[in-house]
């Protein structure tokens, strides 16, 4: 089976407006947490988030077009631009039908949906924006990227909660292996930091409320962890068959070697506490890559900072890796970026590309008090140098969706 390789990466997220800035900040343990500025949170119990800072959409398109896109689409546009430019991919009428766009989102344009509801309630149906539907639909980002570049192959979005990004990349991997397309623009985007997004996630009981002292939150795997911090952003990869990449002289960054997807079939929000669903996704991904657990040098954890998720993921890793679980470093970059919902899995896949290329493991920051039940090597607070040939990225979502990607150093 032909290798599927990664030739471009792009991101806009709470710790960087491009891959280099994001990776540098991740390695240095820079936190993206701060007070919410995207709306007035005075009457909210949660007043902190991981927002994308300094983002100007007119750096990527004209002002008129930017007004017609939801923030979730603007972030995706920026990430896709960086990834495509890095890959050196030239898109033309001749190859456009052999390129696919799979940029996923768990929710889509939540802010635009909220604005439409507010307009309907306050001023009536005639005040709803005529751009409301294309701004709120979850497949809007994929459609707009295809339009921007004249891409005429398959274009769609996958919604599997916080596994959306990893599932979108995994679906692209499957389509490339099947010969349906030669190139995929794949990743995810999310922008849920608005009144409904923050308010609804807080009502689930998943979010920290350390508004006044947020210097040590979120704290994945720490004994005193008390919830996630909502993030936003986008991450996109350019993936292609090895033969296609070589034929056009592309620089190959890494190989996407495997993908596994399972369901807990347990609860609409809580994970199966024994981690069985996550473990089966890890095993499936490793099997698809032809990789033994002993060969894995790093695990990018889902690691949200919630009590149940971190415990279930630790058990999943132990179940899948056995005694090897205590030998492989595990870290959660969500401790820095916050939880970007469906987009986080795509960003963490990019971080795995950086890990196998540079031999540096990003830390889990805010780790202070070990939890006896979460007793693996979480790379606490400081980055670690380690040669890694194979890294895996876990993405586990509400509804029991589990997706795992295997990234291998390109040989």
Name the residues annotated as catalytic: 162, 302, 339
Coil/strand/helix, residue 196: helix
Q: Write a three-state SS string for 208-269.
A: CCCCCCCCCCCCCCECCCCCECEECEEEEEEEEEHHHHHHCCCCCCEEEEEEEEEECCCCCC
Q: Please, which residues have CB within 8 angstroms of residue 370's CB and are 6 or more apart in sequence?
A: 222, 223
Per-residue b or e along 62-73, where b marks 16 or more CB atoms closer than 10 Å to that residue's CB: eeeebeebbbbb
Say how far apart CA 336 and CA 319 lie, in whole Å. Answer: 27
* Cβ 356 vs Cβ 407: under 8 Å: yes
Please name which of 214, 180, 159 lies closest in space to residue 397, comparing C-alpha atoms.
159
Assigned token pair, 329: 């470093």
Number of H helices, E strands in the chain: 13, 14
CA count, 13 A, side-chain hemisphere, 251: 10
* Cβ 315 vs Cβ 396: under 8 Å: no
- Which residues, listed in sequence order, are joined to residue 161 by a DSSP beta bridge? none
How would you classify the pairing of strands 401-408 and 390-397? antiparallel
Q: Tell the burial category of 91 from Cβ atoms under 10 Å away from its Cβ (0-12, 13-18, 19+).
A: middle
* Cβ 105 vs Cβ 141: under 8 Å: yes
Say how far apart CA 311 and CA 332 lie, in whole Å. Answer: 13
């Amino acid at each position: 089976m032909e290798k599927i390789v990664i030739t471009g990466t792009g991101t806009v997220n709470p710790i960087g407006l491009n891959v280099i800035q994001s990776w540098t900040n991740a390695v240095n343990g820079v936190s993206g947490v701060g007070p919410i500025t995207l709306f007035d949170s005075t009457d909210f119990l949660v007043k902190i988030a991981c927002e994308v800072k300094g983002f100007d959409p007119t750096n990527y398109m004209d002002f008129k077009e930017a007004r017609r896109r939801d923030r979730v689409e603007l972030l995706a546009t920026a990430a896709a631009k960086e990834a495509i430019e890095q890959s050196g991919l030239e898109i033309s009428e001749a190859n456009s039908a052999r390129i696919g766009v799979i940029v996923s989102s768990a929710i889509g344009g939540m802010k635009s949906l909220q604005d439409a509801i507010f307009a309907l309630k306050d001023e009536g149906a005639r005040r709803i924006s005529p751009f409301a539907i294309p701004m709120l639909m979850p497949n809007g980002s994929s459609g707009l990227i295809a339009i921007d570049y004249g891409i005429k192959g398959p274009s769609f979005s996958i919604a599997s909660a916080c596994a959306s990004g990893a599932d979108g990349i995994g679906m692209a991997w499957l389509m490339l292996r099947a010969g349906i397309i030669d190139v995929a623009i794949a990743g995810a985007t999310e922008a849920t930091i608005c009144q409904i997004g923050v308010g609804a996630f807080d009502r689930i009981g998943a979010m920290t409320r350390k508004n006044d002292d947020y210097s040590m939150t979120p704290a994945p795997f720490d004994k005193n962890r008390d919830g996630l911090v909502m993030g936003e952003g986008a991450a996109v990869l350019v993936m292609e068959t090895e033969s296609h990449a070589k034929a056009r002289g592309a620089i190959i960054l890494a190989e996407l070697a495997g993908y596994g997807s399972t369901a807990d079939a347990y609860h609409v929000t809580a994970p199966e506490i024994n981690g069985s669903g996550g473990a089966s996704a890890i095993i499936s991904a490793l099997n698809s890559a032809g990789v033994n657990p002993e060969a894995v040098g790093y695990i990018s954890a889902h690691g949200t900072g919630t009590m149940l998720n971190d415990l279930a993921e630790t058990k999943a890793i132990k179940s899948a890796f056995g005694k090897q679980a205590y030998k492989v470093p595990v870290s959660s970059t969500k401790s820095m970026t916050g939880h970007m919902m469906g987009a986080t899995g795509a960003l963490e896949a990019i971080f795995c590309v950086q890990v196998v290329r540079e031999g540096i493991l990003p830390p889990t920051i805010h780790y202070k008090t070990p939890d006896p039940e979460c007793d693996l090597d979480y790379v606490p607070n400081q980055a670690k140098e380690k040669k890694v040939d194979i890294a895996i990225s876990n993405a586990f979502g509400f509804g029991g969706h589990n997706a795992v990607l295997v990234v291998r150093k390109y040989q």
